[in-house]
Amino acid sequence: MSGCDEEQSVLTTELPPTDLDDCLRVRKWWCFLLSSIFTFLAGLLAVLLWRAFAFLCCRKEPELAPNDPKQKEQKASRQGKQDFEGTFMTEAKDWAGELISGQTTTGRILVVLVFILSIASLIIYFIDASNEEVERCQKWSNNITQQIDLAFNIFFMVYFFIRFIAASDKLWFMLEMYSFGYVSYERCVL
């Protein structure tokens, strides 16, 4: 056996696999894509189911003649329903509307905070993407940028739900591009 044959056999021998090799062997990029799509579709389905439930259960009753005795019963049942909807749901919508509005001090602070955290999240993305190895295996507990980005995304998720509560038409809110971007971004980063 010549020296060349020995060299060739050494080069073809595989090194024992390490945890890092196992981690990078199977790419899971499609998990992030599917989680974004499923999150959006689940939210859309929830809104559509709520609308279907409201349509089936809360149909308007036909108007009765002014002297009909059933009219008093109908007014009383409508009043009780309006009291509940008028208190809890209206209060929640008003609170959320004031919170995201730029007209109040709290709203202004929140708008500025969303802007600053969006820019900071973009900077974290640039830091992570500028590393030599874009795809690398690292424990989450050792990756400070992922931890910070997770905290930002939790804030963005809370902000999204506040905007959702304040929206007058939940279906159009889910379909507008600004909302779709938030849902996709939150799921991709998490």
Across the chain, mean pLDDT equals 75
DSSP state of 66: T
How far CA 104 is from CA of 78, 114, 156, in Å, comes to 34, 15, 20
Query: Is the distance from CB of 100 to CB of 107 less than 8 angstroms?
Result: yes
pLDDT digits (tens, 9 = 90+) for 114-156: 999 999 999 998 988 887 666 677 777 888 988 998 999 999 9
189 vs 108: which has the higher pLDDT: 108
- Decide: 43 and 183 in contact? Cβ < 8 Å: yes
Share of the chain above pLDDT 90, in %: 17
> What Å distances lie between residue 6 and 11, 14, 15, 16, CA to CA?
9, 14, 16, 19
Report the predicted TM-score, pTM, of the whole model to 2 decimal places.
0.65
Q: Is the pLDDT of residue 85 over 70?
A: no
Q: Which residue has the higher pLDDT, 76 or 162?
A: 162
